[in-house]
Structure 1
Amino acid sequence: MNKKKFSLFIKPKPIRGILVYLSIFFFFITLFFFFIEMGLMENPLKNFGQPPQSFNIIDRCSLIAGQLIHPIETESDCASMCMAECEVRSLKFYSSNFTSNLGNCNDCICLCK
């Protein structure tokens, strides 16, 4: 007496859907690690938790016609020099600290991660 209705569309079972999503997730995780291992992508957790390294860039100021001439005159000059220094050391620029000294050479401290 119990008749099942015939349907053209098969309802997916919940477990199949979960397995499909899990297999897609694991595929992308595996692909992510493969790209890191092959060097196609940089590891985002490489420097996680490490304090930034500090470098002091020397302002080679000189006395010309009674005035001090500074190669690093402003905060933006200091930041651009720091970015270049971090790139040379294969690090990422974190921040810079510029101190202007009127009677002496300026100070530029770089922080790289």
Structure 2
Amino acid sequence: MAVALHRVASGGTFSPVDGVDFPTASDAHVRLSEERPRQTGAGRLSVVERRILQLTSEGYSTEEIAGQLGIASAATVRSHTRNIREKLGARTLSHAVALWLLGDGD
């Protein structure tokens, strides 16, 4: 155990099985960032964020959305809407809904 901890702490890897090697955390991060293109706009929205946008576009209030989605607090819905605006580059929630409906948030 001490050998494994020492190797990992110094930036290496450890495998208890001979012949099985793992990439370092740094190498794995680089590989994953190269394999997965960065998402922009609506592609970055979570399922919950998309559902919140849909319900907002249908005219539901923050409190009603919280109730429908089983979210404990309207404040949590507001946090989601802040994240939505940031991800879509929208100035307001109405702007975010418009971008999303028009497909400009993709």
Q: TM class by shorter-chain length?
A: under 0.3
Q: Which has the higher contact order (CA 8 A, sep 6+)?
A: 1
TM-score, normalised relative to structure 2: 0.24
TM-score, normalised relative to structure 1: 0.23
Q: Which has the larger Rg?
A: 1
Report the structure, 1 or 2, having the larger helix content: 2
Report the structure, 1 or 2, having the larger strand content: 1
